[in-house]
């Protein structure tokens, strides 16, 4: 398959997907979205975790505003496109394989919607977050009302959209838009290291973590507790975990330490 807007590489069980449209600050057009959907829907064989990274100084500037202007889409055409964004980002969030994002520069508009679909977000100093759609006279359409609002609260998302304010990396960390701040050039290194570690977990354990917690958040307390039990029933009785438990009893595994990353 020829890819025009992303690159896909594998390092062991880790698949690295890189947005490669630096000249347009990795703005997402229809073809790029399709490439992203295809790779997450049909990962290279043996993939047990993903890194999502981006070339250049900025992670992603969101919707391709040029394409949107040129295509002059009808309401139905834009609805269809939103559904494609939702479908793609749902695959990223719910395929059951952990996705670690390496962020730098602008993570804005649809770029923030994309990042919010990943499971762990590691940001270089200088990364900034914003939803500038309001000032362009448009609205979010890639899932921010669901995913970003759940991270920052709906009230704060309203403020982000009305004010177009930019959050710096530290504020992003405080709000949960990213989970770790690293020095220049370190986001990809750190994301790959975490993805490699995560790839050693049993796949059913990762599946439960990356799909179960978000899904259970949509449920009532009773349903959530029941669903948690069902997931734990499958994960805790998986024969693959017996060796790990044995390694703990025989003191072969590292112990947890305070303040350890």
Residues marked as catalytic: 113, 133
Residues in 12-51 that interact with ligand 1HE by CB under 6 A: 24-25, 27
Q: Cα–Cα distance between 33 and 184 in angstroms, integer? A: 28
66 contributes a contact to ligand 1HE by CB under 6 A: yes
53 contributes a contact to ligand 1HE by CB under 6 A: no
When binding is defined by CB under 6 A, the residue of 40, 85, 129, 167 that contacts ligand 1HE is 85
Task: Please state the closest distance from residue 205 (CB atom) to ligand 1HE, in A.
Answer: 33
Task: Please state the closest distance from residue 110 (CB atom) to ligand 1HE, in A.
Answer: 3
Smaller CB separation from ligand 1HE, 145 or 204:
145
List, in sequence order, the alpha helices (H) in 127-180: 147-152, 154-163, 169-175
* Cα 40 → chain centroid: 11
When binding is defined by CB under 6 A, the residue of 39, 106, 120, 148 that contacts ligand 1HE is 106
Report the C-alpha dihedral over residues 45, 51, 52, 56, rounded to 10 degrees.
-120
Residue (of 140, 145, 92, 86) closest to 120 by Cα position: 92
Decide: 178 and 122 in contact? Cβ < 8 Å.
Answer: yes
Q: Which residues bind ligand 1HE (CB under 6 A)?
A: 24-25, 27, 58, 61-66, 82, 85, 106, 108-110, 132-133, 136, 138, 140-142
């Amino acid at each position: 398959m020829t890819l025009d807007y992303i690159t896909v590489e594998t390092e062991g069980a880790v698949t690295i997907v890189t947005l490669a449209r630096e000249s347009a600050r990795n703005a997402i057009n229809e073809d790029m979205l399709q490439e992203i959907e295809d790779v997450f829907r049909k990962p290279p064989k043996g993939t047990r975790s993903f890194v999502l990274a981006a070339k250049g100084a900025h992670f992603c500037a969101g919707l391709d505003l040029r394409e949107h202007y040129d295509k002059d889409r009808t309401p139905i055409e834009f609805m269809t496109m939103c559904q494609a964004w939702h479908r793609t980002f749902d695959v990223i969030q719910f395929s059951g394989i952990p996705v670690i994002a390496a962020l730098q520069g602008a993570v804005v508009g649809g770029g923030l919607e994309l990042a919010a679909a990943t499971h762990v977000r590691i940001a270089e100093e200088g990364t900034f977050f914003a939803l500038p759609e309001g000032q362009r006279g448009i609205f979010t359409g890639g899932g921010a009302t669901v995913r970003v609002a759940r991270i920052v609260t709906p009230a704060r998302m309203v403020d982000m959209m009305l004010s177009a304010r930019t959050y710096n990396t530290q504020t992003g960390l405080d709000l949960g838009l990213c989970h770790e701040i690293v020095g220049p050039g370190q986001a990809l290194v750190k994301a790959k290291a975490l993805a490699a570690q995560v790839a050693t977990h049993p796949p059913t354990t990762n599946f439960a973590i990356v799909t179960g917690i978000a899904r259970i958040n949509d449920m009532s307390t009773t349903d959530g507790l029941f669903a948690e039990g069902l997931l734990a029933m499958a994960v805790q009785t998986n024969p693959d975990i017996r060796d790990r438990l044995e390694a703990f009893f025989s003191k072969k595994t590292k112990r947890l330490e305070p303040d350890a990353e």
